[in-house]
Amino acid sequence: MKNYPAEPYRIKVVEVPNILTRQERVEAMKEAGYNTFLLKSEDCYIDFLTDSGTNAMSDRQWAGMMIGDEAYAGSRNWFHFESVVKDTFGFKHVLPTHQGRGAENILSTLLIKPGDYVPGNMYFTTTRYHQEANGATFKDIIIDEAHDPEIDLPFKGNIDLNKLQAVIDEVGADKIPYVCLAVTVNLAGGQPVSMANMRQVRELCDKHGIKVFYDATRYAENAYFIKTREEGYADKTIKAIIKEMFSYADGATMSGKKDGIVNMGGFLAMNDDDMYTRSREMVVVFEGMPSYGGMSGRDMEAFAIGITESCRFEYIQHRVEQVAYLGDKLIAAGVPVVKPIGGHGVFLDARAFLPHLEQEQLPAQTLAAHLYIESGVRSMERGVVSAGRDKITGENHKPKLETVRLTIPRRVYTYAHMDVCAEAIIELYKNRSSIRGLKFVYEPPMLRFFNAKFDYCD
């Protein structure tokens, strides 16, 4: 039997949750239009909606917030934050943003021209929105195996080099402002990218003069998988692996709300001097001064400390293995999940879980709603609703992966909470045939999964 590491922390403060009855949850879900985003957080016993900004900060991070320098320019916390980012990731220039999508906005606005193409290892919702809003077309170049939940590969987030070359041949390198490489790949199930693949992508892009920008949001999780799965890295530190990973990139966008272990913050980093100068001007327009970029001094201090803590092996080992614990329990019970278990969450295979529902009946949205009703566990749809509609035809995008994401916040829950969640899912799976599908009753024009409302199909 596999051993899972104990929590590498002591609990000093607790939050007492509000535990509703089943009938109360039925009413709450109905009022929310069967959209878990629209539930009140106080009505969720275990909240696995996202790991973004929902982390528990350490005593050192809270202490750091007490020395926040809230000067409008030149805050000492900014200089600490800047030095930690440069030391950890190795980039020449850093610009703070309020969160990751602020960095995505600046990068996309700065580099993309109408008619461009951005290849990437599977889309992410806000990332693709910024690319498309600036006139680009996203091209998925992840390996084919990433779209099959049953295939178990150590680096299922890798870019397919043949697909990348095919896009270059089809549209021309001058139409590709950058390749977007995510570490790890969220919608594929939190799947990592190998160091060898990053190196190969860099070499191919160098041949054609194409920039490579990483989505660095879950850098520590990816580094842990490299250390534990890729030959030649077992004896390297997490920090050394991170430094090598980003040596193959021209820059990165980062949401600190994930592996930065904070509740708010992000950055855009790069090596190019001219791009940095232009980006600084855009930070002033969209975010704030280049020495705070939408963050307070105390936010930057906590962020800097969080990056340092994320590089501790004991921390990242427990973080990833706690997720694996939940996934392993579900696999043992025969519940269909995306394999292998990723770094930040367990992804239920909604199409296999609810095989009697067509994709137009929104199986992932349906499953997420019923999981909350039966257990008080809040999760997130990652399927046809999140994928949106084709902007030309108006038809729903139908991704091969139709999943419910159980995203585990960092240092918040215990293994006992994982047991509660697993038992609820297993019981729901036993009674899956009685679950009815959903339909839209309100559909926003963009990023619809945040605010859409649903009801049961006729």
Q: Which of 227, 239, 257, 258 is catalytic?
A: 258
Does residue 382 carry a catalytic annotation? Answer: yes
Active-site residue (options: 227, 319, 378, 382): 382
Q: How far, in Å, CA of 119 to CA of 142, rounded?
A: 9
Catalytic (active site) residue 21: no
Nearest to 186 by CA among 318, 399, 346, 325: 346
User: By the 8 A CB rule, do 311 and 189 touch?
Assistant: no
308 is catalytic: no
According to the 3-state scheme, what is the secondary structure of 187-229? CCCCECCCHHHHHHHHHHHHHHCCEEEEECCCHHHHHHHHHHH
Choose, from 72, 235, 273, 458, the residue flagged as catalytic: 72
Do the beta carbons of residue 224 and residue 237 sit within 8 Å? no
Given a contact cutoff of 8 angstroms between Cβ atoms, the answer to whether 127 and 215 are in contact is yes
Catalytic residue among 54, 125, 184, 217: 125
Residue 207 CB contacts under 8 Å (≥ 6 apart), including other chains:
none
Give me 192's structure tokens: 């990592």
Q: Which of 303, 410, 265, 255 is nearest to 60 (CA)?
A: 303
The closest of 342, 330, 300 to 424, measured between CA atoms, is 330
Provide the CA 326 distance to its chain's centre, in angstroms: 18
Catalytically annotated residue among 215, 259, 299, 349: 215
Quick check: is 37 catalytic? no
Annotated active-site residue 257? The verdict is no
30 is catalytic: no
Q: How many CB atoms lie within 10 A of CB 229?
A: 15
> Active site residue: 219, 248, 347, 449, which one?
449
Is 347 part of the annotated catalytic residue set? no
Query: For residue 167, what are its two tokens?
Result: 């896009």
Q: How far, in Å, CA of 263 to CA of 279, rounded?
A: 24
Query: Six-digit token pair at 316?
Result: 């990242």
The single-letter DSSP state of residue 69 is: -
Residue in 48, 117, 123, 124 annotated catalytic: 124
Q: Which residues are catalytic?
A: 72, 124-125, 215, 258, 382, 449
